[in-house]
Every structure is written in structure tokens, then in C-alpha cells.
Structure 1
Amino acid sequence: MVNFTRRRVIQIAGGFALTGVAGRWLAVPEAFAGQNGVPAEEVDDFLAVSRKLIMRDELDGNLANALVHASKLALDSFTEQLTRLKALLAEQPALLDGEQLDFGAAFAAEEALARNVLSGWYTGVVGSGDQAIYVTHINALSNQVVADKLVPTSFSYGPCGSWHRAP
């Protein structure tokens, strides 16, 4: 009787494990196919604008997809503003030559979007106030810039409470 019970428990546990794995496998293609409802062209435009603003060619496409999705939720008329910002940067690349973003009063909306794009990449947060959406922490560029020297904040270096002692 004991062997039957153990065997039965193992079979049930195996069934649950397989069901969970199968469920994940079935959900993955569905999740990637829709890309959170973000068209690939929009992600490509976002990456093109981001590369110009950040001055980096290598940016994470998955993070870009998440940032676009969050931007569409947090920012009004994001798609239209992104199209205008892309066109503006193509027409006037000198706008990015200064040490700080300053597009002038005529392009205040495009400058605000550029600042939101930069904020999303560097802090992992899109929008502000009640509309802010937290997208990432570890993958934020601010953490990648210092990753060779610092462990991302909120990660423990040692045993609990070790951080309060002077090094």
C-alpha cells in the first residue's frame, strides 16, 4: 500500500509539473506574437530615436518593447509624438549637439517626449506622478553604467544587516 501511495503521489506531482510547463510553453508564443500589442514598426521608431538620444547603438529590444508599451499607457498621444520627434531629429540633428536637451519653445512637446524616453531608459520608469509606470530596475541604463563597480541597489552584498557596518 505504501509503494502505491508513493507512486501515485509522484505521478500526481509529475502531472502538475507537466501541466505547468505545458501552460508556460503555450503562453510564450502568444505573448511574443502580440508584443504587448505594440507594432514592430513603433518599436523600431522608438529604438531609432533612442539611439540618437542616448548615443548608443546597442539597446535591448525587449526593454524597448516594454518601454513603448508603458509609454503608450502613461503618456498622452505617445505614437504621434514619437513620429514627430523622429522627424524632428532627422531634420535637425544639431538639436542633440548641446550638453543639455534644449529644443526651444517651438518644440516643447518633442523635448518633453525626449526627456521621457531618456528617463525610461536610464531610470526604468515611464511617466510621472500617478501616471508613472515602473518597467525595470536592473536593466535600466543607470545601473548598467556602474555595473562594473556597484551591485544594483536593493541587492545584498552579504548577510542581513551587513550594510550598516563601515567597510
Structure 2
Amino acid sequence: MDLPFALTQARALDAVVRHGSFSRAAAELGLTQPAVSMQVRQLETALGLPLVERMGKRAFATRAGELLLEHSARAVRELETAVQMLQRLRGRVAGRIRIGTSASLSIYVLPPVFRSFRARHPDVELIVVTGNAPEIAHAIVANHRGRAGASPPPSWPSIR
């Protein structure tokens, strides 16, 4: 069976739904907002169903969008894992690190750390999202962030 869409379109949909915004999704993906809108629109056309409901400036997944994201997220993770394994065979580190952090850490502490990391690992995509400690904690619990830092750290039992 041929897939009627590209992984880049599924990633665009994922980013739009996670951020609730086409503009913030575009910033994460390094694209323009119209490019992200076009990718989602092409995906909706290819599948014949609306995947995103727009309410004012917010965007939410429809039931069809949720169903697609549930399955496409697993597929994308598996493909990313395969690429990382292949990169390791070549002696390189590759992949994506999603980090949630407080604004103060992202402004004053992390920039030199990220510059150093990028110099050593150019094939690793760093995605940094700032927020307050409760937002970051919710994102970790919901598995939207792999690592996070906040000052002071949140005192949630499910987060170490």
C-alpha cells in the first residue's frame, strides 16, 4: 500500500497540534507559517478528512487528526531510531533532543552549552521550548519533552 502523504506532513501536523498554533509549529520546524499550513492542508486533502480544527488563533486535532497522530508518531519514532542506529554505524551521533526549560535557564545558562553541543554533534536536532515550571512538568508527564530544567525544580512525584 502506498502512503498518500510524506513524513514531513505528519511531523507538521504533530507540531501544530502540540503547540496549538501554526506559527509556533513553524518556528519549531524551521519553516514559514504558510509552509506548515500548506503541508497540513495537503495532508488533509490526501486523506480526505479534516485533521485540524481552527478556533481563532488556536488549532486542535479533530478525531481523525488524533487517530493519525497516534499511529504516525510511533512510525516516526521508529524511523528516527533506525536513522540513529545507522548513524552510529558510521560513527556519528544523530537524532533529536527535545528540551523544556525555564526562560531564565534558556537565556542565561544554556546558550553556551547548546553551542558546544552543536559543535560536537551537528547531526543532532535540538528543540528548546521555554515555559514555566508547571507547563514543563505537564509536558514531561504527557511525554512531550524528553528533558527539562526549571528553577526551582517542580516537586512532582512522577518527575525526577
Q: What TM-score, normalized to structure 2?
A: 0.25
Structure with greater Cα Rg: 1
The structure richer in helix per residue is: 1
The structure richer in strand per residue is: 2
Q: What TM-score, normalized to structure 1?
A: 0.24
